[in-house]
Amino acid sequence: MSTQRFNAAEHQASTLYLPPGKWLTVLDCLCEHFQAISREQWLDRLARGRVLDAEGAPISAQLAYKEGLRIHYFREVPNETPIPVQETILYADEHLVVADKPHFLPVTPAGEYVEQTLLRRLIRTLDNPNLVPLHRIDRHTAGLVLFSANPATRSAYQLLFPTRKIEKRYEAIAPALPELELPRVHKSRLVDGEPFFRMQEGPGDSNTETLVDVSEKNGDLWRYALYPVTGKKHQLRVHMAALGAGICNDPFYPQVIKDAEDDYAKPLKLLAKALRFIDPVSGEERYFESRIHLAW
């Protein structure tokens, strides 16, 4: 019998530890816990092996409920709306995949997006269910995303980010800042903001750092080169807004645009442009650059 533990993240599954209750079966618990999903939908998922136990084996509709039992399930969104943008694979070997993500495409399943994500598209294209993103960029941001293609070497690549052994360069188009001396380093403490999906700067020791420079000037708009030392959620968007130059077409910063819908003609002018690092497996220097261009 195998002793290998099921890894939900690597299999793109969500995990639920069954809460306290008086249900007879796991199915009963799932139906009440996720009331937006009908019993018929759960039965269909069970029949297709889309609900698993802690070891990764499909469960039956008769499996007895037990508080704290760990269940893995695969999220599904019926009638998911296609996202009319196309990713590009820039590099792929047995260990590493580098993709150029277009604006508006999420990296991983979340909310209303499951199949219409960069991860699921690459899994289908490369026929490799072992793909796992090594980092994230926002759905509104375009550019480079690295994926591990091999569980045996995954940890070596994952360590590049927390140990800061990877150089990241972003580009952004935003209002000119003639009154500021550039380049400059902006440091601040980012904390959860309001609404829940926003971040904001708060008091206390800084936990984010970005080097901001200008690479091109075009009247009232400048093209900025951004070098994030840290990698907090929405870091570059918050930092640019704090400097007085909110990135063009940003629906969240400096103010939330209420009921904003995706406008494919007006993407957020933020691009993960380049990545440089020493490959921890081959020892070679790697440099990748996005083929996407931010138009004025």
Whole-prediction pTM value?
0.78
Backbone angles phi, psi at 121, to 5 degrees: -65, -45
* Both structure tokens of 35: 């009331």
Rounded to an integer, what distance in angstroms lies between the CA atom of residue 32 and that of residue 75? 16
User: How many other C-beta atoms lie within 10 A of the C-beta of residue 113?
Assistant: 21
Both 57 and 122 in one domain: the answer is no
169 occurs within a structural domain: yes
Structure tokens at 159: 């360590």
Q: Is residue 266 part of a domain?
A: yes
Domain check: are 111 and 24 in the same one?
no
pLDDT tens digit sequence for 173-221: 999 999 999 999 999 999 999 988 899 999 999 999 999 999 999 999 9
Q: Is 244 left (phi over 0), alpha (psi -120 to 50) or beta?
A: left
Q: Are residues 131 and 247 in the same domain?
A: yes
- Residue 256 located in a structural domain: yes
| Helix and strand totals (H; E) in the chain | 5, 14
Q: Is residue 9 part of a domain?
A: no
Q: How far apart are CA 93 and CA 98, in angstroms?
A: 9
Burial track 19-46 (b if 16+ CB lie within 10 A, e otherwise):
eeeebeebbbbbbeeeeebeeeebeebb
Tens of pLDDT, residue by residue over 213-257, are 999 999 999 999 999 999 999 999 999 999 999 999 999 999 998
Confidence class for position 261, pLDDT limits 50, 70, 90: confident
21 with 113, same domain: the answer is no
Residues 220 and 276 in one domain: yes
Taking only the tens place, the pLDDT of each residue in 49-105 is 889 998 889 999 999 999 999 999 887 766 678 899 999 999 999 999 999 999 999
**Are 252 and 118 found together in one domain?**
yes
Query: Measured on CA atoms in the order 78, 81, 82, 85, is the torsion positive or negative?
Result: negative
Residue 12 — very low, low, confident or very high, per pLDDT cuts 50/70/90?
low
Torsional sign, CA 294, 275, 227, 135? positive
At residue 10, the pLDDT reads 59
In a domain, 3, yes or no: no
- Are 158 and 235 in the same domain? yes
Q: Please indicate, yes or no, if residue 79 is contained in any of the structural domains.
A: no
CB 45 within 8 A of CB 74: yes
Query: d(Cα 288, Cα 42) in Å, to the nearest integer?
Result: 43
Q: Is residue 285 within a helix (H) or strand (E), and if so which, with residue range?
A: strand 285-289
> pLDDT-derived band of residue 33, with 50, 70 and 90 as boundaries?
confident
